[in-house]
Structure 1
């Protein structure tokens, strides 16, 4: 059986929360619920590190503006994680070349990451913090649900992941004005901090 649907789904989920993907797949593999999970993801040290980083993301992802800073840092991390997980999955199954799997997983992770980051920029234009928490919880539950579905019904999960990716891209088009507003605010804050710093270091005459 082709592992491509699982590769695509894990890539999409990695673009949203790579640590959750590693943790969930590792747990499913370690408990014997999934045969396709490579042993390297089932190692105790990998699961512990993934669990700790998942907790860090769970906190940072729910704080306005901190979530966008976290997304910026993970612009490289998530696509790379998606590519690595995809290549490992392909290496275990032998039905898909690892390089091709890595390309699919990495590019899909990058697209879903950009959708997530853009959506968070739009959400951060809202004055209240509760929308961040709601969106973050929905993302966490979505990743958990789709990865669980992928373990037992990979084709159905890939259809769901593809639909969510397409929907997210459409939503980004409608949120473009809010995203531009967020970027202007961030640029203004940086300029204010820069001016404040210059004022503190200005010599007194």
Structure 2
């Protein structure tokens, strides 16, 4: 089960920023920093696509309300990416069945994606845009740091990812009322636009 900590960590990170995970792992593989990165993630076309999508996400993720729309679009993408990366890592290692690894990676990615999306909804109840930018930068740096740590110290990275996931779920629980306000406000805006169009 040597790949399990890396699989869990990659799943958690994919739920926050799947493109950064693919890009970082691919770079670590291409440069020879890690021999645990599957060939599929090191392909030039995969790296280019991940880099372009990462740049798009880096912009979209910092704009209030657009970030929540982007998160909604990625409710399927991030868990699927977490599952695929996990299955590829398991296939490379051979210590864990790919189906089980995909389930771990996908489930972890879904949980961390829900934390990210819910937190952003809560942040969008604040009138100023700076909190979105700060939160996005913190997420990007954290994903980069945890994925890099996972290459060199996978168990420690998995512990960090697990702690961050638990903290995120607790914050999400505490922020539930703000999220409800955000959803109500969004519904009211939609109704106002429909009324204005009629």
Q: TM-score if structure 1 supplies the norm length?
A: 0.96
Per-residue CA deviation, residues 71-93 of structure 1 (Å, 9 max, x unaligned), is: 00000000000000000000000
Write the mapping of 1:19-168 to structure 2, written as runs, cut at 5 A: 19-168=19-168
Deviation at 1:35, TM superposition (A): 0.9
Deviation at 1:194, TM superposition (A): 1.0
Deviation at 1:144, TM superposition (A): 0.1
Q: Over aligned residues, Cα RMSD in angstroms?
A: 0.6
Q: Which residue of 2 aligns with 1:178?
A: 178
Structure 2 residue matching 1:109: 3-state secondary structure = helix
Question: Which segments of 5 or more consecutive residues in structure 1 lack a partner in the other structure?
Answer: 199-205
1-side partners of 2:96 and 2:152: how far apart? 19
2-side partners of 1:32 and 1:136: how far apart? 29
Number of residue equivalences: 198
Which consecutive segments of 4 or more residues in structure 1 shift more than 2 A? none
Deviation at 1:193, TM superposition (A): 1.1
